[in-house]
């Protein structure tokens, strides 16, 4: 009987529990035992691996749609982790302890559910997982993982941010003012773009497209309404200015005589009951991950490509997209997916008269 481990790492999002639940169900159908590693890699570096046996009674279906991770994602107190190991110059010791702890679990395979940082780190330190199969499932609200058309958590985050903007639109109309809403997304503008369009934003600023503040102001002043939503991604920058992007844009609007307020949904975007689309994606990716284990695949990631869930090599994932250095972990390069110039949503936004920057 195979012994399968599940670990969630990085930032949380909705859909993690759905993935865990379906892995448990699918593994049980195959006659495999499933175990959960609590608190990510943090739960593996103590004296005893923090691992529990999983079954459907521990995570029943009526709780699987709840946001966050039942297993938790780590970064607890002063527990050691990859970042702290770099800071204290104890990387070799940390890697050795992590490999030893994983060996103690006697797992045949590990399903790691993580974002692009976690996946890049897993590939960089792949020797740690050499004694077991490693299969990854992509999750992030940012949609910044290359080679997959969707990630677990994105659809729910779009829903959360859209509803946030919907509510603001009503008070914006009541008080004849504009709201500058700052979305998450790091260096990828897909969350801001998708939710902004869904909420009827008049302007959307994302990191991938240069914008002109004067043209933004002209666009707002020429709008048919004297109220509305302007969505800005947290990854945008304004030359000569520092601070929160929404605050920087708000100051420019105020100086131009445009009444406005800023709004920060923050981690509400990571919360919310998992949408049906994310639940279905989690189920399909869980099934494909288990099939990969049955087929003796390792160092692979599940990916949605068109209408099909496939597995692709982690090496291909980490070498695709736009790469950048991790600010906290030395010698770690992270691969990011970004909004392509020919993205259909950008084309539609332009055609609808929404200001999205200086597109070609």
Residue positions annotated with a catalytic role = 142
Distance in angstroms (rounded) separating the CA atoms of residues 13 and 46: 26
- H or E stretch covering 305: strand 300-305
Hey, what are 160's tokens? Answer: 């959360």
Q: For the chain, what is the largest distance between any 2 Cα atoms, rounded to a whole number of angstroms? A: 69
Residue whose C-alpha is closest to residue 99's, from 135, 52, 49:
49
Describe the chain by its helix, strand, coil percentages, rounded to 5: 40, 20, 40
Residue whose C-alpha is closest to residue 25's, from 289, 310, 273, 326:
289
What are the two backbone dihedrals, phi and then psi, of residue 130, each rounded to the nearest 5 degrees?
-70, -20
C-alpha dist (Å) from residue 314 to 125, 170, 300: 12, 45, 5
Distance in angstroms (rounded) separating the CA atoms of residues 211 and 198: 21
Hey, what are 353's tokens? Answer: 């008269």
DSSP helix/strand/coil, 300: strand
Angle, alpha carbons 143-306-134 (nearest 5°): 65
Distance in angstroms (rounded) separating the CA atoms of residues 109 and 155: 28
**Nearby residues of 114 by Cβ (< 8 Å), 6 or more positions away:** 8, 9, 10, 122, 136, 137, 138, 139
Hey, what are 207's tokens? Answer: 């990191």
Q: How many helices (H) and strands (E) are present in the chain, helices listed first?
A: 11, 13
Distance in angstroms (rounded) separating the CA atoms of residues 288 and 284: 6
Q: What is the DSSP letter of 347?
A: H
DSSP helix/strand/coil, 99: helix
């Amino acid at each position: 009987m195979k012994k399968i481990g599940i670990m969630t790492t990085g930032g949380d999002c909705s859909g993690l529990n759905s993935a865990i639940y379906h892995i448990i169900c699918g593994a049980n159908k195959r006659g495999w035992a499933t175990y959960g590693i609590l608190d990510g890699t943090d739960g593996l570096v103590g004296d005893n691996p923090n691992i529990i046996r999983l079954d459907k009674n521990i995570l029943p279906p009526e709780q699987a749609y709840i946001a966050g991770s039942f297993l938790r994602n780590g970064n607890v107190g002063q527990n050691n982790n990859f970042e702290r190991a770099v800071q204290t110059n104890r990387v070799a010791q940390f890697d050795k302890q992590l490999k030893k702890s994983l060996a103690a679990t006697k797992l045949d395979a590990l399903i790691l559910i993580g974002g692009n940082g976690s996946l890049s780190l897993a590939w960089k330190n792949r020797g740690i997982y050499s004694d077991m199969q490693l299969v990854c499932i992509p999750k992030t609200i940012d949609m910044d993982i290359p080679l997959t058309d969707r990630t677990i958590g994105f659809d729910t985050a779009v829903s959360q941010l859209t509803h946030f903007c919907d509510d603001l639109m009503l008070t914006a109309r009541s008080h004849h003012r504009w709201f500058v809403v700052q979305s998450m997304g790091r260096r990828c503008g897909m969350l801001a773009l998708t939710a902004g369009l869904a909420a009827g934003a008049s302007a959307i600023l994302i990191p991938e497209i240069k914008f002109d503040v004067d043209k933004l102001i002209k666009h707002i002043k020429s709008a048919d309404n004297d109220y509305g939503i302007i969505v800005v991604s947290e990854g945008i920058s304004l030359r000569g200015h520092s601070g929160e992007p929404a605050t920087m844009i708000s100051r420019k609007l105020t100086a131009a005589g445009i009444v406005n307020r800023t709004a920060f949904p923050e981690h509400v975007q990571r919360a919310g009951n998992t949408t049906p689309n994310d639940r279905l994606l989690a189920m399909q990716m869980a099934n494909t991950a288990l099939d990969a284990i049955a087929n003796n695949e390792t160092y692979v990631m599940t990916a949605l490509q068109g209408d099909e869930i496939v597995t692709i090599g982690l090496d291909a994932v980490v070498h695709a997209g736009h790469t950048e250095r991790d600010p906290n972990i030395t010698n770690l390069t992270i691969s990011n997916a970004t909004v392509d110039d020919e993205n259909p949503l950008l084309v539609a936004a332009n055609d609808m008269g929404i200001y999205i920057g200086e597109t070609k």
